[in-house]
Structure 1
Amino acid sequence: MSKFVSPVYNVKKVPIEKIQANTYNPNHVAPPEMKLLYESIKDDGYTMPIVCYYLKDIDKYEIVDGYHRYTTMLRHKDIYERENGCLPVSVIDKPLEDRIASTIRHNRARGEHSVDLMVNIVKELKDAGMSDAWIMKNIGMDADELLRLKQISGLASLFADKEYGKAWK
């Protein structure tokens, strides 16, 4: 039996100045999702460490996964100050080709949201009394996306907080 221990059990507090991006990450996050990531980190803190490889020769940590969590701290002074300029880091020790594969696996393993499940979530939040504004801010949706999910559901109750003009009569 192997004595492998998952890196997440040895998370380090690393100053952001000692962390650098890699040159091979193909992942891109659209502005609405980056805004949601900022809101998530602001409201919940860092709940997952950045995955890095330690570059001994230059005493830096190169990101394998977590580039956007890293850039959130770089771009937002409030996050930087609250976290004292440090990020949680778990370190993997693999050759470059395996780190590239790890980056791709991390990116692809995130999956996509099911439309049906998102409709159910919106319904549950509306049933709990949450406003459209609350849902858009906290779930990271714009008004058009929320409207589409409500339309897909076909449930009139999801439109209960809307005022309609006389054209609907």
Structure 2
Amino acid sequence: MAQPLKLYLIRHGIAEERQPHLPDPQRALTAKGRQKTQKVAQRLQELGLQFDDLQTSSLVRAYQTAEILQHQGLVTTIHISDLLRPDGNWQEWLQWLQNWRNQGLTRLALVGHEPNLSTWAEILVWGQPRRQLVLKKAGMIGLLLPEHHNPVGQSTLFWLTAPKLLF
């Protein structure tokens, strides 16, 4: 029998501004972005958070955010998922999630981008996007997905925190 799943949706930290000569996927975290993300990761570790798995977008800023979480001891390994890129497909991710749940793991963290993460959270909670949730850079949404295999419109929001509230 499947257990409820705690899903943590984490937005990447503050990244370099968009520039004509810098491809979007290569935009890295700024010094301030690294510092803020490190503070958030440290606070999450102090609160006792642990993830069974961490999936991240392959974009540099997201991967760097995931590395900070890993270095803080919140997870042992990082996996890259193209489904978490800004052009990621919700339906494909939902199918991936159903397969992932078959492993029996119960704490999943995703590092990605807006508006995908907040939109996905709204679909999981309300069954449709409402454009109501705001996920700040280095912020986190926590959802409890039900034991049955269709979490759409059936999930519970238990955490929505701007990074400044964690330190």
Please say whether Structure 1 and Structure 2 have the same fold, judged by a TM-score greater than 0.5.
Answer: no
TM-score bracket for the superposition, by shorter chain length: under 0.3
**Greater fraction strand:** 2
Taking structure 1 as the reference length, the TM-score comes to 0.27
Task: Give 1 or 2 for the bigger CA radius of gyration.
Answer: 1
